[in-house]
Amino acid sequence: MTMAEPRMEGLKAELRKESRRVQLNFDELKSGGFIKQTQKDLFTVRLRCPGGRLTSDKLHKAAELAQKYGRGEVHISVRQSVEIPYVHYKDFEAVTKELAQSDWAVASCGPRIRVPTGCAGCTWNPNGLADTQAMCQEVDKRFFGTPTGHHKFKVSFSGCPIDCFRTREMDLGFQGMVEPRLVEELCNGCQLCVKACEESALHMEKDLPVRDLAKCNSCGDCIKVCPVDAMVVSRKGWLARVGGKHGKHPLFAYEVAGYLTEAQALNLIDKTMPWYREKGQGRERIGATIGRVGLDSYIDEVCRPLGLEVIVAPQERQKYWAGGNLYDGH
């Protein structure tokens, strides 16, 4: 070994340490909503937009910040966030300050409950069965940034079974659902409901529509088309799905409970967190945790204590739909 070699080794070790330090900072910045770009020293700043809903004032502010600190452009993320690319890290403090003055903030990433996403729901979409936007705002207010201890946690809301907000791919997804009921004495046998049902869940018997409970997906189309209000809403609520994710190794969520009230849906998010913190390992998503410890654990320890109408097995779906008496697993 020459005399210069130990010095070179020491220098390399220092560089490795420095590289780890910089990497750690990038991770921390991403966790705080500043995402490193390909371009040196430039970051994309992700803004907090629950349900993808923004006032025109905030849109103006985003445009102003993009002009001032970026390159005059914004990007709309797949999860409804407005992002400002090309922001130099030296401007982070100024951007954060200006956002705070407009009652706005950066959307943090990392192992936390993320900003909830959702469609327009019944606010202005004719298909909507539930108030997705109100839930997005409430979930953002109550849970945004809650540490999970393991990995990211995404919550989304879809207003109906068309499921535009992919609740099957979320850590917790909620979809609006409705149960139709026939008022026999009002029915004129026109069959419009049968024709409207895309699931072929209705057929006529003795001039009255009969529902195949196994096929019905709770969309409510039969209610909308009935000209004499003979098909009515028996009840509405949220279908809860847990354990979904997209990405390199996608998982399809488990349907765990039906007809949740808004309060029950919020409670489910709240009670899921300690279960996930306790049962999860390392950086696994909750779907992987459920896959490892079993769905029964989640159902028994989280859903049942909340008094939810649980769905235990897909093969029991027929019972699930039958007259609203959901399968309770026993």
Contacting residues toward ligand SF4, per CB under 6 A: 119-121, 125, 127-128, 158-160, 162-164, 180, 182, 187-193, 196-197, 199, 201-202, 209, 211, 216-222, 225-226, 228, 230-231
Which tokens belong to 195?
A: 């024709």
Give whichever of 88 and 317 is closer to ligand SF4, judged by the CB atom.
317
Give whichever of 304 and 319 is closer to ligand SF4, judged by the CB atom.
319
CB of 157 to ligand SF4, least distance (A): 8
Helix (H, G, I), strand (E, B) or coil at 159: coil
Asked whether the beta carbons of 216 and 182 are under 8 A apart, the reply is no
Which tokens belong to 59?
A: 């849109």
CB of 155 to ligand SF4, least distance (A): 15
CB of 29 to ligand SF4, least distance (A): 33
Dihedrals phi, psi of 209, to nearest 5 degrees: -75, 135
Give whichever of 149 and 324 is closer to ligand SF4, judged by the CB atom.
324
Cβ burial, residue 47 (10 Å; 0-12/13-18/19+): buried
Give whichever of 83 and 163 is closer to ligand SF4, judged by the CB atom.
163
Helix (H, G, I), strand (E, B) or coil at 236: strand
Looking only at the bridges linking them, the beta strands covering 82-88 and 75-76 are antiparallel
Give whichever of 226 and 269 is closer to ligand SF4, judged by the CB atom.
226
CB of 179 to ligand SF4, least distance (A): 8
Distances, alpha carbon 38 to alpha carbons 19, 26, 93, 113, in Å = 16, 12, 21, 26
Give whichever of 92 and 174 is closer to ligand SF4, judged by the CB atom.
174
Distance between CA 46 and CA 40 in Å, rounded?
A: 18
How many CA atoms, within 13 angstroms, populate the side-chain half-sphere of residue 158?
20
Helix, strand, coil % in the chain, rounded to nearest 5: 40, 20, 35
Which tokens belong to 75?
A: 């990007």
Distance between CA 296 and CA 243 in Å, rounded?
A: 13
* Closest CB to ligand SF4: residue number: 159
Distances, alpha carbon 282 to alpha carbons 26, 111, 271, 276, 289, in Å = 20, 11, 20, 11, 10
Give whichever of 303 and 326 is closer to ligand SF4, judged by the CB atom.
326
Give whichever of 97 and 124 is closer to ligand SF4, judged by the CB atom.
124
